[in-house]
Each structure stands twice: as structure tokens, then as C-alpha cells.
Amino acid sequence: MKSGTVLLSIFLLLTYCGYAQVKVFKGTSTYSSDVLFNIEDGEVYKKNSTYSSDVILTIRKNKIYKENSSYSSDVLYTIVDGKVYKGNSTYSSDIVFTIKDGKVYKKTSTYSSDVLATIKDLRVYKENSSYSSDILFSYNGFLTLEEFVAIWHVFKYEF
């Protein structure tokens, strides 16, 4: 089987079966004591919890909501084509950051001087770095763009 076919098969299997829990760790650790938060079924939970009282953010379609809300007034971000907008907006003036080719950029920029983070091999590095000392956090599975945005928000603003 070609690698593209294998990846498509895995994607379809995950879509059909539901996504597995993805854990986010401090640095390069994979110890359960170093879990910062986890994602399961569109919810971001504190540490290893899956209790509804420990929901930090909710992910529904292309939107990120506060806690376990689904009210339009509680939308933190709307994600469209790699652009992350503030709240329910899709105005270019409300772009908070852009994700493209494994990089998180300030606002609408795609200049290397505006890189906030680099995403590579299940790790997120500070700015343009790929040094292990610059790993901000790591995770242990497939993430959608929306899940990554939720993780980025929690990492940047909740910790």
C-alpha cells in the first residue's frame, strides 16, 4: 500500500470510530504526571481528567468555545483556511494568527520573522527553533487544526 493510501485509511478509521484521546505534555515528557491537558471528543480537559467539570474548551466544527459552552457569545475563535479569527468574526482585521506549513505566524503574516511557533514531529517549538531545549509542549497523537488552536490557546493563556 502506498503511504498516501495508508494515511487516508487511518484518517477514515479515526473519523468512523471517533478520535482517540490526545494528551499534551510538558516539553518532551510522556509521563502521566507531566500531562498538561488532554483532548477527547471535542473537549479539552485539565490534566488527565475527562470530567465535565474539568472542561477548559469545547471544539465544535470550526469554532472554539469557552468551557463546555456552545453559545455563540462564548466563541473564542473561528478557524477558516488556516486563519484564526477572534470570536465569531471572519474579518481580516480580526485574525489573531495564521497556521501554514507547520508554522504559527502573527496575525496574517507568513514572514519568517513573525513565526510564533514551529510544529514538527508531535512537538511545538518556540519560534523558528527545532532545538529540544526550545520545545514548548509535545502531544501523542493526531490533531485537527481546531484541536491545535485549542491547545495553543490553553498553553498560551491558561498556563
pLDDT tens for the chain, residues 1 to 159: 555 555 555 555 554 455 579 999 999 898 999 999 999 999 999 999 999 999 999 999 999 999 999 999 999 999 999 999 999 999 999 999 999 999 999 999 999 999 999 999 999 999 999 999 999 999 999 999 999 999 999 999 887
Complete DSSP assignment for the chain: --HHHHHHHHHHHHHHH-PPPEEEEETT---GGGEEEEEETTEEEETT---GGGEEEEEETTEEEETT---GGGEEEEEETTEEEETT---GGGEEEEEETTEEEETT---GGGEEEEEETTEEEETT---GGGEEEEESS---HHHHHHHHHIIIII-
pLDDT at 14: 52
Please, what are the domains in the chain? 21-158 (2.40.160)
Which pLDDT score is estimated for 8? 55
Specify the pLDDT at position 16.
Answer: 46
